[in-house]
Amino acid sequence: MSEEAKGVTDTKSNDGSLLGDKQFEGSAPSASVDVSKRSQHAYFSVWDMHAYYGESYIVQGVSFNIREGEIVALLGRNGAGKTSTLRAIARLDDPQLKHGEIWLDHKPLHDMKAYQAAQNGIGLVPEDRRIIQGLTVEENLQLAQIAPPIGWSLERIYDLFPRLAERRKQEGTTLSGGEQQMLALARILARDIKLLLLDEPYEGLAPVIVHEIERTLEEIKSLGMTTIIVEQNAIAALHLADRAIILDMGEVVFDGTAQEVLDNKELRHEYLAI
């Protein structure tokens, strides 16, 4: 069934209100929701999140907790709702969060707009990388530090990404795909973030560059950065991650260790086609 069809067959209202919305009356929390996951005390927690693009009901009651310093691979087939989940966490306008709670380090992100979520520690590296045209590498990084809270110094960033140091005067949009991915990541680290959200960091990159980005992410991991990585290259993501969450049709169908997914052929076959 298409997501549109699901939205249409859904009897729930669509008036844009948050908690207490009548579409969830009698079902909040729904029976399938593990109430133990409703935790303002976990470092990061998503509880019974429902999000829509217009009428299309896409994120359908997603709940999970993440410990500080943990790396979670958020996996699932094309269209499973991975990007939508990241976007909802980052509080972008689309998809619209209609129900649920999102807590980061005791702050209620569900009550915030995207800029406030960013100020409170969300750092989303979107799939399209969004390098700003007409600016050099260094200017892209400086722009990220225009307002507090400021994260890593440019010196520290250039230590982690020597390729960016070499190309600091080059226009960002003329970088190779892999270098643009590094710049997108560097720009986020230039801000003081608490949760790194990576949407397909290896997409469209040659294997040798994937290895380079993997090494960088390993270094970031060793620094204890709490991270959610969405990746079609599930094996690579599982090798980096401590935990895996698998989404299917906007719902969590698995939450366990990365090793469990690597060891479970049926699970991989059913939900990841690997």
Ligand X SMILES: Nc1ncnc2c1ncn2[C@@H]1O[C@H](COP(=O)(O)OP(=O)(O)OP(=O)(O)O)[C@@H](O)[C@H]1O
| Closest distance of CB 263 from Mg ion, Å | 26
Cβ neighbours of residue 241 closer than 8 Å, sequence gap 6 or more: 71, 72, 73, 229, 258
Q: Under rule CB under 6 A, which residues in 225-254 are in contact with ligand X?
A: 232
Tell me if 56 contacts ligand X by CB under 6 A. yes
Residue with Cβ nearer Mg ion (119 or 232):
232
61 near ligand X, judged by CB under 6 A = no
The rounded distance, in Å, linking the Cα atoms of 233 and 102 is 27
**Least distance in angstroms from the C-beta of 172 to ligand X:** 24
Tell me how far, at minimum, the Cβ of 156 lies from ligand X, in Å.
Answer: 31
Find the binder of Mg ion among 27, 39, 83, 259 (CB under 5 A).
83
Query: How far is the C-alpha of 209 from the C-alpha of 192, rounded, in Å?
Result: 26
Span from 77-85, 143-151, 167-175, 210-218 in contact with Mg ion (CB under 5 A): 77-85
Examine residue 232 and tell whether it contacts Mg ion (CB under 5 A).
Answer: no
**Stretch 107-166 residues interacting with ligand X (CB under 6 A):** none
Beta carbon of residue 161, minimum distance to ligand X (angstroms, whole number): 25
Question: What's the rounded Cα separation, in Å, for the pair 256 and 86?
Answer: 19
Q: 181 near 109, Cβ under 8 Å?
A: no
**Tokens 């009428």 sit at which residue?**
55
Query: Quick one: 42 or 234, whose CB is closer to Mg ion?
Result: 234
Burial 106-143 (b: 16+ CB within 10 A, else e): ebebbebeeeebbbbbbbbbbbebebeeeebbbebbee
| Closest to 72 (Cα-Cα) out of 274, 221, 223 | 221
Q: What residues make contact with ligand X under the rule CB under 6 A?
A: 3, 53, 56, 58, 76, 78-84, 94, 232
Q: What residues make contact with Mg ion under the rule CB under 5 A?
A: 82-83
